[in-house]
């Protein structure tokens, strides 16, 4: 590696085989070029060298190079969502910049423009959508760092809008009764199962006959169903490793499911569309479910709220959070605690009563920890009373 004059300035050159390559040019003085060359040599010695030419790759070209292999690892629904955000958010706003131009300021401006509706779609995006698009950009730039195209990820310190937790709807026992009463007979077993087991909708619709034991009152969750392109169902692994689980159910659920298993092979679907052949289509979620809610007079209730309802009733019954976490197939108990921890107040009060029952009763039937008259000074004349 050496420096040499190039036009009005200086450049850094290097011999690679029988070729002489320009590493970087445009230095105003020989001293500046030598200083840069020294830093490059030191970075190479430490294994931290970043070729300055790599950062000149346009972000759009880097997306073309890296994104297909990454996207192939995603579930179909996730892939469609993330592809859409790359196509509609990242490419239009940042795609023409080179990697080294995508600095912390550019990323912050990207977030601000999405929030202000200054992107081709023209509408202000929700904090959650902005965070999701930023997360994809972060992955893209992380991969560029791993490839040694960038030294650091400029998206690592971005200020992001705060997401307000979406309010969960928990159905009461009477509301569950109204829901089931309003559900058409063909769909009643599916809705009953969702309420009684807390399965995710995609887990329930992916159930196969051989994975349900109505006599033992249990089922196996081994896959999930998602809508593919054009509504064609796609079957994938469950959400996490702990989502592969066995879930028990009461006799009422077994009674509802039993007729659906008769005359079917082990690999046949438990739940089907109205034709009795096709897997459940998105028509149920988009058209049938809203009609059921209207008939029951329940307002807006998402199918996923049936899962929340199931957990709420288990917590209300005092069931341990660890058991609930396993039943729900959460990745960890921390997920269960984070989502449903605010429902534990009543359970805590029950724990207090149980702990109080462990302790010996205080003398004269008083309350444990209650101060005696001698301790409170009750019955004694106080300095204030003397002055009065």
Give the confidence band of 384 by pLDDT, cuts at 50, 70, 90.
very low
Please report the pLDDT score of residue 337 as a whole number: 83
pLDDT digits (tens, 9 = 90+) for 52-79: 777 788 999 999 999 999 998 888 888 8
Please report the pLDDT score of residue 232 as a whole number: 82
Question: What percentage of residues in the chain have a pLDDT greater than 90?
Answer: 58
Residue 154 above 50 pLDDT? yes
Dihedral of CA atoms 78, 285, 195, 206 in degrees, nearest 10, equals -60
Please report the pLDDT score of residue 214 as a whole number: 95
Please report the pLDDT score of residue 151 as a whole number: 84
pLDDT digits (tens, 9 = 90+) for 247-290: 999 999 999 999 999 999 999 999 999 998 899 998 999 999 99
CA angle 42, 145, 67 (to 5 degrees): 150
Residue 12 above 70 pLDDT? yes
pLDDT digits (tens, 9 = 90+) for 329-369: 998 888 888 888 777 665 555 555 666 666 676 666 554 44
For residues 209-225, average pLDDT? 96
pLDDT digits (tens, 9 = 90+) for 189-204: 999 999 999 999 999 9
SS (H, E, C) the chain: CEEEEECCEEEEEEEECCEEEEEEEEECCHHHHHHHHHHHHHHHHHCCCCCCCHHHCEHHHHHHHHHHHHHCCCCHHHHHHHHHHHHHHHHHHHCCCEHHHCCHHHHHHHHHHHHHCCCCCCCCCCHHHHHHHHHHHHHHHHHHHHCCCCCCCHHHHCCCCCCCCCCCCCCCHHHHHHHHHHCCCCCHHHHHHHHHHCCCHHHHHCCEHHHEECCCCEEEECCEEEECHHHCEEEECCCCHHHCEEEECCHHHHHHHHHHHCCCCCCCECCECCCCCCECCHHHHHHHHHHHHHHHCCCCCCCHHHHHHHHHHHHHCCCCHHHHHHHHCCCCHHHHHHHHHHHHHHHHHHHHHHHHHHCCCCHHHCCCCCCCHHHHCCCCCCHHHHHC
Question: What percentage of residues in the chain have a pLDDT greater than 70?
Answer: 88
For residues 133-138, average pLDDT? 97
Residue 383 above 80 pLDDT? no
Calculate the average pLDDT of the chain.
86
Tokens matching residue 164: 């307000």
pLDDT digits (tens, 9 = 90+) for 25-58: 889 999 999 998 998 888 878 877 777 777 788 9
Give which of 387, 172, 180, 166 is closest to 293, Cα–Cα: 180
- Residue 64's alpha-carbon distances to 71, 120, 121, 259, 337, in angstroms, are 11, 20, 22, 51, 40
């Amino acid at each position: 590696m050496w420096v040499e004059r190039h036009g009005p300035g200086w450049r850094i050159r290097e011999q690679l085989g029988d070729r002489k390559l320009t590493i970087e040019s445009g230095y105003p003085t020989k001293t500046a070029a030598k200083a840069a060359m020294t830093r490059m040599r030191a970075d190479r010695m430490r294994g931290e060298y970043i070729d300055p030419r790599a950062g000149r790759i346009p972000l759009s070209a880097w997306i073309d190079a890296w994104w297909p292999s990454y996207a192939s690892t995603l579930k179909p629904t996730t892939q469609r969502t993330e592809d859409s955000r790359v196509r509609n958010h990242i490419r239009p706003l940042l795609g023409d910049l080179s990697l080294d131009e995508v600095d912390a300021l550019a990323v912050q401006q990207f977030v601000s423009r999405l929030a202000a509706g200054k992107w081709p779609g023209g509408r202000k995006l929700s904090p959650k959508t902005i965070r999701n698009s930023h997360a994809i950009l972060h992955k893209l730039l992380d991969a560029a760092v791993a490839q040694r195209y960038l030294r650091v990820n400029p998206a690592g310190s971005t200020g992001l809008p705060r997401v307000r937790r979406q309010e969960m709807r928990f159905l009461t026992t009477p509301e569950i009764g109204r829901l089931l009463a309003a559900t058409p007979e063909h769909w009643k077993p599916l809705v009953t199962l969702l309420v009684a087991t807390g399965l995710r909708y995609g887990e329930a619709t992916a159930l196969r006959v051989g994975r349900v034991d109505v006599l033992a009152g249990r089922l196996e969750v081994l896959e999930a169903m998602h809508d593919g392109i054009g509504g064609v169902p796609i079957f994938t692994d469950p959400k996490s490793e702990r989502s592969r689980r066995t879930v028990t159910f009461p006799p009422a659920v077994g009674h509802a499911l039993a007729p659906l298993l008769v005359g079917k092979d082990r690999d046949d679907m438990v739940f089907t569309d109205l034709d009795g052949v096709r897997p459940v289509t998105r028509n149920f979620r988009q058209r049938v479910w809203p009609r059921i809610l209207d008939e029951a007079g329940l307002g807006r209730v998402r199918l996923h709220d049936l899962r929340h309802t199931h957990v709420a009733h288990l917590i209300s019954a005092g069931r341990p959070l660890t058991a609930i976490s396993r039943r729900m197939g959460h990745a960890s108990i921390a997920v269960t605690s984070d989502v449903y921890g605010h429902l534990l107040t009543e359970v805590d009060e029950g724990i207090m009563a149980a702990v109080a029952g462990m302790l010996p009763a205080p003398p004269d039937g008083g309350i444990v920890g209650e101060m005696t008259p001698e301790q409170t000074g009750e019955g004694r004349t106080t300095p204030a009373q003397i002055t009065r």
